[in-house]
Structure 1
Amino acid sequence: MQRRSRGINTGLILLLSQIFNVGINNIPPVTLATLALNIWFFLNPQKPLYSSCLSVEKCCQQKDWQRLLLSPLHHANDWHLYFNMASMLWKGIHLERRLGSRWFALVITTFSILTGVVYLLLQFAVAEFMDEPDFKRSCAVGFSGVLFALKVLNNHYCPGGFVNILGFPVPNRFACWVELVAIHLFSPGPLKAKKTTELLHCLSP
């Protein structure tokens, strides 16, 4: 296990501030547990990022399938964690109250695995179609794929309306794109979130 180097993690501080502003008692249990788990893994990563990120080369060719479980729980930096978990906070509150904690836990678990599988399939297909083997080595970490799947589910239950992103009200139909741009800007180069999967979720009705 490798702890994060000490320093000011502004994104983490903002995230904790947002959680306490909402009130821990106002956050449903599965949502709260998901937030806590991701924060814990950020502060106490089980492996270095390049040993937990998801790629066709590492998973399919080297048979390192544990990355399917590790990659959603690791984040490239504190801002990556902040944007993902701030999004999870609001989506989780709305969806868990609507679905109930048991169903929401099942949804989170299923999406965590399936978005990783879809990412691998898409990367393999693109690599073969474009004859670009580098796509098989492209490595991804983060909870973003799960969040964009939750976004599609949330839009199904609550079409229309607005969400708050960085203090600005954004129509639901555009929120997916705004979140995608924000994550892109605050994620470092090689270890991006699962953007191919996210883009498909943005294009979903």
Structure 2
Amino acid sequence: MRNRQRGSNLGLLLLASQVFQLGIDNIPPVTLATLGLNVYLFLFPVKPLLQTCLSVREAYLYRDWSRLLLSPFHHADDMHLYFNMASLLWKGIKLERKLGGAWFAYLLSVFSLLTGLVYLLLEMGLTHMTEDSSYSLQCAVGFSGVLFGLKVVNNHYHPGGATYIMGLPIANRYSCWVELILIHIMNPGTSFIGHLAGILVGLLYTAGPLKSLMKTCAGFVTSNGQHGGQQTYYNSSGKSSLFYREILI
């Protein structure tokens, strides 16, 4: 497992340039706060990277469940942070304006937790099916799993159109799957399972029971004396995580 590479912090400069080009006033508050949290934790991490990345061994076998909360918001290096946050800006601006700030914050919280849980389940399944313990040792950090989930949701709320990937037009409904495969082919060190987990969580929201469950939970909270109805929470309707390996000694 390698340590964080700080380098020249070119990624931070690129990110700052992009934020100022967009204009801070044009970035919705939840998106801006999420970006700020990721940058802050990059500069002042809660723990060393080895103690924040998510793996079956560390989270499930050793019961370090705090990694579920920490791993999405820590990044391996400044370029890893830049690519993920640039993607967050584009998706966050569109989705937060569509869903409203409170519901978007709720969505980010649920996706951050569920993507990690699905990642663990997939890695555990691969360990048992292949009898290869290395799947339980793969340790991932970064926000890109959540971003893949947000891409599915964004394509659901903005159907139609195409995304150009390597110069080829790909229908938006299929673009996340094409990106999943291409990213892994072009950079085998990226977290294929982490990205797949994000897509599955996005599908649970758009085509499964997750959205209804979230509305039910939000309605339960508001019915206990907070703000009125569910409408308070919603309106109508990477670069990739890097893998790290540890060797058991």
- Same fold at TM > 0.5: yes
Please say which of residues 27-36 and 77-86 is displaced more in the overlay.
Answer: 77-86
For 1:91, the equivalent position in structure 2 comes to: 91
How far 1:178 moved relative to its partner? 3.7
Distance 1:136 1:184 in 2: 22
Distance 2:181 2:40 in 1: 24
CA contact (8 A) 2:11 2:82 kept: yes
Alignment map for 1:1-205 (pairs within 5 Å): 7-162=7-162, 172-173=172-173, 175-176=175-176, 177-178=178-179, 181=182, 189=189, 192-193=190-191, 195-199=192-196, 201=199
Quick check: which has more Rg, 1 or 2? Answer: 2
Distance 1:81 1:11 in 2: 7
How far 1:179 moved relative to its partner? 7.2
Q: Which amino acid aligns with 2:195?
A: E
Distance 1:150 1:41 in 2: 21
Find the residue that maps to 1:140 and give its secondary structure. strand
Distance 2:128 2:163 in 1: 38
TM-score (norm 2): 0.70
How far 1:199 moved relative to its partner? 3.0
Corresponding residue pairs, total: 198
Q: Which runs of 4+ in 1 moved over 6 A?
A: none
How far 1:52 moved relative to its partner? 0.4
Distance 2:184 2:108 in 1: 20
In structure 2, runs of 5+ residues without a counterpart are: 208-249
Find the residue that maps to 1:54 and give its secondary structure. coil
Q: Which amino acid aligns with 1:83?
A: F
Distance 2:169 2:26 in 1: 22
Q: Which amino acid aligns with 1:133?
A: S
User: Taking structure 1 as reference, are residues 16 and 185 closer, same or farther at Cα in structure 2, changes over 3 Å only?
Assistant: farther
Distance 1:196 1:31 in 2: 25
In structure 1, runs of 5+ residues without a counterpart are: none
TM-score (norm 1): 0.85
Find the residue that maps to 1:70 and give its secondary structure. helix
CA contact (8 A) 2:35 2:85 kept: yes
Find the residue that maps to 2:141 and give its secondary structure. coil
CA contact (8 A) 1:180 1:198 kept: no
Q: Deviations over 1:29-48 (max 9, x none)?
A: 00000000001111111111
CA contact (8 A) 2:180 2:195 kept: no
User: Taking structure 1 as reference, are residues 162 and 21 closer, same or farther at Cα in structure 2, changes over 3 Å only?
Assistant: farther
CA contact (8 A) 2:5 2:76 kept: no
How far 1:181 moved relative to its partner? 4.3
Aligned-pair identity (%): 53
Please say which of residues 154-163 and 168-177 is displaced more in the overlay.
Answer: 168-177
